A and B are shown apart, each in its own frame.
Chain A
Amino acid sequence: MTTTSPTKTVPDLAPAPLPASADKGGGRFKLGAGQHLKGGPFTYAALIVVGLGSVFPLYWTLVAASHDQQRVLDSPPPFLPGGRLWSNLQAAWDQAHLGKAIVNSFIVAGCITAATLFFCTLAGYAFAKMRFRGRGALMTAVIATLTIPPQLSVVPLFMMMADIGWGGQLESVIFPTLVGAFGVFFMRQYLLEALPYELIEAAKVDGATNIRIVWNVVLPAARPAMMVLGMLTFVQAWNDFFWPFLALNQDNPTLQVALGQLSASYTPDQSIVMAGALISALPLLLVFVVFGKQIVGGIMAGAVKG
């Protein structure tokens, strides 16, 4: 049992969960490696090149979605948006049942995100702050599940879903991803730092049950990390392709599945396909513009495991 309590004074919002590899480095909150060195013109030039490369394909999606196919494949190709965006969007909407697909995508990503937040916070709290037999081994087991690719189980999963009547239903893509190992690990790392034992003990002295402690102490403390985990989970659930593509059919697709099917039709009109691609990318790009900073912070905080 560790005796030193890892918390001294913990500010409410600030403590980003530190990467595990920070422990061996000694001073925790020191400035990072090169941060005393300023970036020169070469640095900015390189970043501009990489930045343009990162954004250009998305811009090109917009350009291609706003011309007709003939014009897109012209030489030289267009580099500015044209005037056919609306009609292409409408064509994509009609050809691929995009209305239903959007609703389905929101249902799937919403359910997965809500369940992930709730269950991963509970499990993360248990692994971070509660003492129970087998804790270390079970945590290792959780992490080990990260290395199993979904490909290994799709065949029986498909048969199981058909067997219990979920074949082609949204349930078949929602339930397998309700709680993820990454989320459990992420919440554990955060709560290790952000939740002082004193708070839990004080609540216990007051006679609170465990579930009350979760509600009144753990959830408020976990809120910043839950925000980040929620966004990361939503992005992943929204973009998931392999299993939804196998599990769902044309009549009841998510956006990504509909997009895959749109491009698989006989001779797809590329402008219309790009309009569909734009619709599928837009909600997440909006999330990114608003919450980019939090998402960046979350990935840097959660993804490092030494």
Chain B
Amino acid sequence: MATTTPTRGAHTPPPGGSGVTSNGPSAWRTRLWRLDDKASPYAYIAPFFLIFGAFGLYPLLYTGWIALHRVEMTGLDQSEWVGWDNFAKILQDSEFWTAVTNTFVIGVISTVPQLLVALGLAHLLNYKLRASTFWRTVILTPYATSVATAALVFALVFRPDGGLLNWVLHFVGFGDTDWGDGEWTSKIAISVIVIWRWTGYNALIYLAAMQAVPTDLYEAASIDGATRWQQFRKVTIPSLRPTILFTIVISTIGSMQLFGEPLLLQGGTIGAVGGSEHQYETLSIYLFNYGWKLGHLGPAAAVAWAMLVLLLLIALINWIVGRFVRKSAA
């Protein structure tokens, strides 16, 4: 060790305490110092683990227990063992599978364009720019906008009667589109809200990673005669691979949680069931509907566990794809 950490036990205690007196109190004091050193780090991290244990881990396990019981919103303190019935109920419900498909489809059509645009945007922001902070702040404003606000504004833009988008599309020859009622148009509308809110944020993450790529790599590449596009593909992208994987994971988890956007796109009772034909019902909406609208908490908990299984599946696929990409790159 370069510098030895002075342990306070070995030092004479500061003057004023037990300078000349017997070593009784000073030994006691030494022990206190030791205890302070041993216990303090655990005391400092304890709040996080206490809060997570009480409001994160414990409920997570408790969800499993509820999923095996009959618990109603009207009598929260009563429960009755039903075994796997709740799981059977949701697995046989075609609406559940619609929600799974919708969540997956909306996840893909919101995540892929979002990350591609973010990558391009980060590349642009990485040039030497006038007022670079201004541009970065501007593209981040959607991040400061709440789901509720964003969803409500876009709901207005996507309205079938007198919505801004239909008015604009009129000029390029489209008739009125009922965005919220269409199977695909509603999913696109929701994806637009997600993309609008998160592209700038992801662009800044990519930008941070790009700025950590050593300049030598680019110099070497340009000496070898690589064009800007080749530099972007052969130097930037490979250097960003861990960051890209990270954002894919985060966005995937995020898209599993989509709730405010579908709830408020058409609003009211239609939003609470994810559209009149459930055309944009996500798993979170399905969970909310089962638990809070219908009042059956058992099946709602089973939905939560189904989401956990899906997340693990996606993580597995991510891991396999990641391994494959790494291997083929080597």
Contacts and interface: CB of A to CB of B under 8 A. Distances in A.
A10 interface: no
A206 interface: yes
A174 B239 CA distance: 40
A292 B137 contact: yes
A205 B11 contact: yes
A242 B153 CA distance: 18
A293 interface: yes
B138 to A, nearest CB: 4
Given A32-B126, A60-B157, A296-B137, A280 B148 contact: yes
Contacts of A306: 209, 242-243, 246
B162 A74 contact: yes
B264 A260 contact: yes
Nearest to B137: A292
Contacts of B143: 235, 299
Given A154-B304, A239-B147, A263-B264, A300 B205 contact: yes
B40 A54 contact: no
Contact of B267 (A135, A148, A198, A263): A263
A277 interface: yes
A176 interface: yes
Contacts of A119: 47-48
Contacts of A19: 208-209, 212
A88 B80 CA distance: 50
Interface in B202-233: 204-205, 207-216, 218, 228
A114 interface: no
Contacts of B155: 263
Contacts of B81: none
A72 B76 contact: no
Interface string A214-227: 10000000000000
Interface residues of B, number: 122
Contacts of A127: 45
A120 B126 CA distance: 31
SS class, residues of chain A in contact with chain B? helix
Nearest to B315: A147
Interface in A27-85: 27, 30-39, 43-44, 46-47, 50-51, 53-55, 57-58, 60-61, 64, 72-77
Interface in B259-302: 259-260, 263-264, 267-269, 271-272, 283-284, 287-288, 291-292, 297, 300-301
Interface stretch (B58-66, B92-100, B177-185, B321-329): B58-66
A27 B40 contact: no
B313 interface: no
Contacts of A260: 148, 260, 263-264
Q: Is the interface of B mostly helix, strand, loop or mixed?
A: helix
B152 A175 contact: no
Nearest to A139: B45
A303 B242 CA distance: 13
B56 A148 contact: yes
Contacts, number: 363
The interface centre, meaning the residue of B37, B44, B210 with most chain A CB atoms within 10 A of its CB, is: B44
A60 B153 contact: yes
B42 interface: yes
B145 A281 contact: yes
Given A50-B121, A160-B59, A288-B137, A43 B129 contact: yes
Top 3 nearest A-B pairs by Cβ distance? A32-B211, A73-B162, A153-B59
Given A25-B214, A34-B127, 4 more contacts: A54-B138, A142-B48, A207-B14, A281-B149
20 contacts: A21-B242, A21-B243, A26-B214, A33-B213, A39-B129, A54-B141, A55-B138, A58-B153, A74-B162, A138-B49, A145-B52, A147-B253, A153-B55, A176-B51, A239-B144, A260-B148, A266-B268, A268-B267, A280-B148, A281-B144
Interface of A: 1, 3-5, 18-19, 21-22, 25-27, 30-39, 43-44, 46-47, 50-51, 53-55, 57-58, 60-61, 64, 72-77, 119-120, 122-123, 125-127, 130-132, 135, 138, 142, 145, 147-160, 162-163, 175-176, 178-179, 181, 184, 197-198, 201, 204-207, 209-211, 214, 235, 238-239, 241-242, 245-246, 256, 259-260, 263-266, 268, 270, 273-274, 277, 280-281, 284-285, 287-288, 292-293, 295-296, 299-301, 303-306
